[in-house]
Amino acid sequence: MELLKKTVASIEDPDWRAGEKAQQRLNLLTKPQGSLGKLEDMLLSLAAIQGNPLPVLGDKAVMVMVGDHGVVAEGVSAFPQEVTRQMVLNFLQQGAAINVLAHHAGARVIISDVGMAAEPIQHPDLIQRRVRSGTRNMAREAAMTEAEAIAAIEVGIELVNQEIDRGTGLIATGEMGIGNTTPSTAILACISGKKVEDLTGRGTGLDDAGLIHKQKIIRQSLQINRPDPDHPLEVLHKLGGLEIAAITGIILGAAARRTPVVLDGLISAAAALIACRMNPKCRHYLFASHLSQEPGHRIMLEEIGLEPVLYLDMRLGEGTGAVLVFHLLEAAVKIIHQMASFEEAGVSQRTDAYYTKECSD
């Protein structure tokens, strides 16, 4: 608990002055002001996060947290729980989508078992930090004890600190855990107070009957556990997952170290929602990579105060959406480092029609 308390207390606002200085530099570059849209916004956020008007990214990593869910026993997933272990083996054999996309982005994939239910996998590239073998069935009792949730959060804090210490400057969150859209949606329903029917998606492909049943199980979980929406740790331990808790720790730890985090989909956003309720300043260190097909994802991002960068109808998880945004963040950084100013290029800086929207379009 001490590591969690210390980390939450040490999160500060970004250096907005560095962002202002970056804006001043952008205004001098050979383009109409603001003409690169969200790329410029991303660059300014990076500058403020790092406290550096000329930000650099350093090494890149996708941190995939693995955990299983007792609520799968209620039939809320189209896939059986053993798929979690099978997919972890696929990650380790470099055969999954996240392996392909991370390699394309020049990022390392870090796989950590914080709560898989199956027999542990012995592999040199798998980090073994299991808190317990899957959560309990939240439709019958609390998914975790408070101590277990804290332990999983602190695993995430420790792992992200290790990454930052080794030079990683950009983190993407990923996850693997069959059934994890159910606890993520339950977390959102509790905190937002919105109707379960408006938040619940089909996950890995439920049919209409399966979707109705999933909604029923989420409502049952809320009724049995009755978590206080104003106490994020209580919401997490009663309704969450071990991988969600670990991602919460990654977000808190990275924010405390002034390191940007790119969120993936619904599960990562659920962790971000918890982290931002623990310390609202976390929000400034986050980028929302994409908007998934899960209906709750958009509402989750609105609750946090983030806008997605990409709209690709993705719903895979693993960190696949997040790692795609690495390319855009790198492009944003290269703009301020490599693009010439009007003076450097010998181009007249004009304030007439060149700057009008009609002309720039």
Angle at 246 between CA 244 and CA 250, to 5 degrees: 115
Residues 6+ apart with CB under 8 A from 307: 288, 301
Residues in Cβ contact with 351 at an 8 Å cutoff, skipping those fewer than 6 apart: none
Question: What mean pLDDT do residues 240-263 have?
Answer: 98
Looking at residue 355, its pLDDT comes to 45
Write down the mean pLDDT value for the chain. Answer: 95
Q: Is 330 among the catalytic positions?
A: no
Which pLDDT belongs to residue 205? 87
Query: How sure is the predictor about 350, in pLDDT bands with cuts at 50, 70 and 90?
Result: low
Residue with tokens 């010439």: 340
59-326 maps to CATH 3.40.50.10210: yes
pLDDT digits 0-9 by tens, 136-157: 999 999 999 999 999 999 999 9
Distance CA 283, CA 276 (A): 6
Domain residues of the chain, as ranges?
A: 2-54+336-360, 59-326
Query: Which residue among the candidates 318, 330, 343, 344 is catalytic per the annotation?
Result: 318
How confident is the model at residue 69, as a pLDDT? 98
Average pLDDT over residues 288-311: 96
Query: What is the mean predicted confidence (pLDDT) over 267-295?
Result: 97
Q: Which residue has the higher pLDDT, 330 or 354?
A: 330
Whether 276 and 242 have beta carbons less than 8 Å apart is answered as no
Across the range 300-310, mean pLDDT stands at: 97
- In the prediction, which pLDDT does 204 show? 80
- pLDDT score at 348: 86
Which CATH number does the domain 2-54+336-360 belong to among 3.20.10.10, 3.40.50.1100, 3.40.50.1860, 1.10.1610.10? Answer: 1.10.1610.10
Q: Does the pLDDT of residue 352 top 80, yes or no?
A: no
Report strand pairing: 261-263 vs 108-115: unpaired
Could you tell me if 265 and 291 are in contact, meaning their C-beta atoms sit under 8 angstroms apart? no
pTM equals 0.95
pLDDT at position 359:
41
Could you tell me what percent of the chain has a pLDDT over 70? 97
